[in-house]
Amino acid sequence: MDQARAVTASFSPVFTDAGLTPRATLVRAVHVNELRAAIDTLRARQGLAAFAWTDGSLAVGATPIRRSHLVEMRTALTAVFTARGLPAPTWTDPAITAGATPIEAAHVAELRTAPLSLQ
Looking at residue 69, its amino acid is H
CB 31 within 8 A of CB 49: no
Longest dimension (CA), the chain: 63
Nearest-angstrom CA–CA distance, 19 and 22: 9
Q: What is the pLDDT of residue 9?
A: 46
pLDDT in tens, 39-82: 999 999 999 998 999 887 788 777 778 888 889 999 999 999 99
pLDDT in tens, 101-115: 777 878 888 888 887
Q: What is the pLDDT of residue 67?
A: 86
Q: What is the pLDDT of residue 7?
A: 54
Q: What is the pLDDT of residue 109?
A: 82
**Residue 80's CB: how many other CB atoms inside 10 A?**
23
